[in-house]
């Protein structure tokens, strides 16, 4: 019988206690894993979402630019509007390669589902390079292009004449957008003039997507945009700046969440230490016998230290598995609570998240294992073998 199988013995003796202790470690590790994976997923999701927008600068009406960016990404009704003549001024600025106007409006159908209409011009295609359209982009009056989800829900085909949902108008489906990773799947695209007419807002826009000829010259272009005549009535939002601000906000919460997770890990560690101490006090006589038949202090130390590590390692394996299984639920729970949630996956794990969890568990195990193992090793064989088992 080697030391490893000997250290497994306690599982047979006290299955309930060992299981509970391991569960404690597992819960703490699961919290840690979810936290790490969430940070990574949020960051990736945000970056991906801004990349897919295809623009470097967003021009929005007055109001909080973060709200505005969130609306532009996920689709909703806008509280204020831009005048269409601002577009000319934006296009006149040096360094602006494309300025794509959008008129967005959201309606709700009888089932409460959100229907987002986007009035767009063909130059949007130069921004959305990842798009694959089955059919054509809407250019003529009465044409409509559907996002893949909308098309599936309405069971529509290219060339079909459909009733536009929640509107008293009809349109011809000119194209269907292939599935994209973003929110575009749930949008309907119509020509800009059509959208302005349908929603009774002639010559108004909700936002302008601006792509620069050279993204490195961002500062200068933004200053020019803010300085032009229309600059006083609109907000110019550089998207990299937006990304950094949101990331900062998330980072500050990460520190606090990390602190509390650490506390949870420490509490779990104290539990492990305690459980091993209990095992030692129960097995005092056994330790005495082992010492008497020739086991050294180092052997005893190793035995109990191994036992602690086992509990921590098993706990972290179970914890990661638990977090993995629960990630869907956690994701939905988080999405309902976060103000700026990207539409992609929120929980994005990498191998290093798993590695960090294991490393944390190993460090924890080796630290909390020291005290019990040292106490067991320092028992004198004579005392340990006595009837009352030499009180610990």
Residues that bind another protein (CB under 8 A): 16-17, 20-21, 23-24, 27-28, 31, 35, 62-66, 80, 226, 232-235, 249, 252-253, 255-257, 260-261, 263-264, 266-268, 270-271, 273-275, 277-278, 281-282, 334, 337-339, 392
- Please compute, for residue 6, the number of CA atoms within 13 A of its CA located in the half-sphere on the CB side: 16
Count CB-CB contacts under 10 A for residue 209: 23
In the complex with another protein, which residue's Cβ is closer, 54 or 65? 65
Q: How far is the CB of 227 from another protein (least distance, A)?
A: 11
Least distance (Å) from another protein to the CB of residue 218?
16
Q: What distance in Å separates the CA atoms of residue 220 and residue 226, rounded to the nearest whole number?
A: 10
CB of 202 to another protein, least distance (A): 19
Query: CA-to-CA distance for 35 and 346, rounded, in angstroms?
Result: 11
Cβ proximity to another protein: between 27 and 309 the closer is 27
Helix, strand, or coil here: 114? strand
Q: How far is the CB of 283 from another protein (least distance, A)?
A: 12
């996002």: which residue's tokens? 147
End-to-end CA distance of the chain: 27
- From the CB of 371, what's the least distance to another protein, in Å? 9
173 close to 144: Cβ distance less than 8 angstroms: yes
What does the block give as tokens for 100? 């794509």
Q: In whole angstroms, what is the distance from residue 138 CA to residue 158 CA?
A: 12
What are the φ and ψ backbone dihedral angles of 171, each rounded to 5 degrees? -155, 160
Q: In angstroms, give the least distance from the CB of 244 to another protein.
A: 13
Nearest distance, CB of residue 120 and another protein, angstroms:
26
Residue 21 or residue 308: which is nearer to another protein going by CB?
A: 21
CA distance 381 to 374: 14
- Cα separation, 351 vs 320, whole angstroms: 12
Q: Which two tokens stand for residue 5?
A: 């199988």
Closer Cβ to another protein, 125 or 356, answer by number: 356
Query: Cβ closer to another protein: 169 or 267?
Result: 267
Please check whether residue 280 is in contact with residue 301, taking contact to mean a CB–CB distance below 8 angstroms: no
Degrees, nearest 5: CA angle 344-348-252: 95
Q: Cβ 162 to another protein, closest distance in Å?
A: 37
> In this complex, which beta carbon is closest to another protein, that of residue 179 or of residue 378?
378
Handedness of CA 38, 43, 51, 138 (dihedral sign): positive
Q: And the tokens for 270?
A: 């104290």
46 exposure class (CB count in 10 Å sphere: 0-12, 13-18, 19+): buried
Q: How far is the CB of 323 from another protein (least distance, A)?
A: 11
In 3D space, the residue among 137, 151, 207 whose CA is nearest the CA of residue 179 turns out to be 151
């Amino acid at each position: 019988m080697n030391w490893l199988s000997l250290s497994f013995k306690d599982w047979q003796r006290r299955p309930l206690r060992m299981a509970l202790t391991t569960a404690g470690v597992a819960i703490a590790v699961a919290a840690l894993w979810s936290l790490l994976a969430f940070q990574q997923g949020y960051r990736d999701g945000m970056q991906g979402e801004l990349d897919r927008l295809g623009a470097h600068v967003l021009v929005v009406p007055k109001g909080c630019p973060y709200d505005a960016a969130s609306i532009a990404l996920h689709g909703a009704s806008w509280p204020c509007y831009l005048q269409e003549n601002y577009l000319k001024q934006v296009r006149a600025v040096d360094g602006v390669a494309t300025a794509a106007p959008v008129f967005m409006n959201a309606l709700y159908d009888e089932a409460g589902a959100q229907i987002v209409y986007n009035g767009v011009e063909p130059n949007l295609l130069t921004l959305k390079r990842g798009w694959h359209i089955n059919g054509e982009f809407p250019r003529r009056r009465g044409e409509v292009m559907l996002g893949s989800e909308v098309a599936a829900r309405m069971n529509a085909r290219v060339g079909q004449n459909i009733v536009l949902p929640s509107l008293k108008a009809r349109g011809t489906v000119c194209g269907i957008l292939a599935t994209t990773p973003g929110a575009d799947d749930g949008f309907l695209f119509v020509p800009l003039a059509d959208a302005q007419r349908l929603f009774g807002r002639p010559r108004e826009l909700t936002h302008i997507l601006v792509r620069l000829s050279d993204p490195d010259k961002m500062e200068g272009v933004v200053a020019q945009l803010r300085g032009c005549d229309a600059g006083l009535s609109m907000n110019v939002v550089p998207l990299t700046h937006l990304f950094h601000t949101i990331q900062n906000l998330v980072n500050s919460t990460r520190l606090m969440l990390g602190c509390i997770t650490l506390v949870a890990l420490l509490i779990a560690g104290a539990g492990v230490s305690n459980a091993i101490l209990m095992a030692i006090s129960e097995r005092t006589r056994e330790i005495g016998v082992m010492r008497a038949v020739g086991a050294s202090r180092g052997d005893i130390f190793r035995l109990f230290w191994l036992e602690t590590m086992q509990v921590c390692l098993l706990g972290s394996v179970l914890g990661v598995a638990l977090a993995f299984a629960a990630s869907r639920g956690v994701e939905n729970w988080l999405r309902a609570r976060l103000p700026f949630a990207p539409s992609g996956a929120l929980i994005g794990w990498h191998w290093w998240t798993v590695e960090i969890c294991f490393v944390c568990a190993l460090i924890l195990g080796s630290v909390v294992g020291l005290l019990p193992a040292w106490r067991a090793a320092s028992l004198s064989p004579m005392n340990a073998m006595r009837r009352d088992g030499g009180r610990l």
